[in-house]
Amino acid sequence: MKTSASYWMFEGGLEATKPIAEAMQEAKELGFEAIELAVGSKGVLTHHTTKAQCEDIAATAQKIGIGISSVASGESWGCSPTANDAKTRAKIIDFTSKALQVTKWLGTDAYLFVPGAVNVFFLPDAEVIDYDVCYERARDAIKQLLPAAEETGVAICIENVWNKFLLSPLEMRDFIDGFNSQMVCAYFDVGNVLLTGYPDQWIRILGKRIKRVHVKDFKLSVGTAEGFVDLLEGDVDFEAVKKALADVGYDGYVTAELLPFEPGRPEKTAQAMKNIFK
């Protein structure tokens, strides 16, 4: 497996103000083999970033000697594919179609996609969508995005997140299989699932559907978003996770997603990744 760092992990990353070249250089110096970039509607990398600009970023990565493991986006949280407003749903489809092209231009083949939400836990005023409605709208959104995914060769990687949706590995498996396309995959997040399940079970059930992996840690005794902690300080059984990944033949990128930025956290995370995946 190859280690990667989330762009969001670095100072200014979540704000999308960190120069990409600086983030790549920092990740390289910390010993990561790759970096996961992040695209948004504003910031240093957006859905309007040009092919030439993307190629320049890719060339800089090559010069630094670091890979671009994937591209993530948090745009779906505030502009949900499952929103009640049809214009909002259309807006995120347009954004994501363009973001898939940006991902292709950057030279990678995996795009992290949050397919919608029954509820957004960190947005107090967010609307609550009926689960069955959310399911159908999420399916419709991905069906609309499949042509762009197939044209670019970039997989739509659905992440298990705290959206009160796709809560079981069986449901996630069947949801992905329902598209009958290799361009719809799973982006498995180890820490996100710990509150309600076992990461190793999810890995074995999702199997070859897993395209990318996020790594973070979580304390069950806290049980809220405050329970996300630095690697090796929570309750994730990383030995079981590694064994499960090996059992399903996964040898791709494992990306550390520790946020928000805190002084010393990138360095601490890099050392923990070395200890876990040595």
Matching residue, tokens 């739509």: 156
pLDDT of residue 152: 98
Tell me which architecture the domain covering 2-276 has in CATH.
Alpha-Beta Barrel (3.20)
Quickly list DSSP for the chain.
Answer: -EEEEEGGGSTTTTTT-S-HHHHHHHHHHTT-SEEEEE-BSSSSSBTT--HHHHHHHHHHHHHHT-EEEEEE--HHHHS-TT-S-HHHHHHHHHHHHHHHHHHHHTT--EEEE----S--TT-TTPPP--HHHHHHHHHHHHHHHHHHHHHHT-EEEEE--SSS-S-SHHHHHHHHHTT--TTEEEEEETTTTTTTS-HHHHHHHHGGGEEEEEE-EE-TTT-SGGGEESTTSSS--HHHHHHHHHHTT--SEEEE---S--TTHHHHHHHHHHHH--
Q: Which among 200, 94, 206, 114 is positioned nearest to 158, based on CA atoms?
A: 114
278: exposed, middle or buried (Cβ count in 10 Å: 0-12, 13-18, 19+): exposed
pLDDT of residue 57: 98
Could you count the other beta carbons within 10 Å of the beta carbon of residue 19?
A: 10
Domain ranges of the chain: 2-276
Quickly list DSSP for 217-262.
Answer: EE-TTT-SGGGEESTTSSS--HHHHHHHHHHTT--SEEEE---S--
Average pLDDT value for the chain: 97
110-166 tens-digit pLDDT: 999 999 999 999 998 999 999 999 999 999 999 999 999 999 999 999 999 999 999
Q: Which among 154, 222, 168 is positioned nearest to 197, based on CA atoms?
A: 168
Side chain identity at residue 223, one-letter code? G
pTM above 0.95, yes or no: yes
Matching residue, tokens 């991902």: 103
202-239 tens-digit pLDDT: 999 999 999 999 999 999 999 999 999 999 999 999 99
Q: Which among 277, 273, 240, 244 is positioned nearest to 258, based on CA atoms?
A: 273
154-192 tens-digit pLDDT: 999 999 999 999 999 999 999 999 999 999 999 999 999
Residues 6+ apart with CB under 8 A from 45: 16, 20, 37, 38, 39, 57, 102
Give the pLDDT band (50/70/90) at residue 278: confident
pLDDT of residue 7: 98
Matching residue, tokens 């989330």: 6
92-115 tens-digit pLDDT: 999 999 999 999 999 999 999 999
Interatomic CA distance for residues 257 and 231, integer angstroms: 10
32-78 tens-digit pLDDT: 999 999 999 999 999 999 999 999 999 999 999 999 999 999 999 99
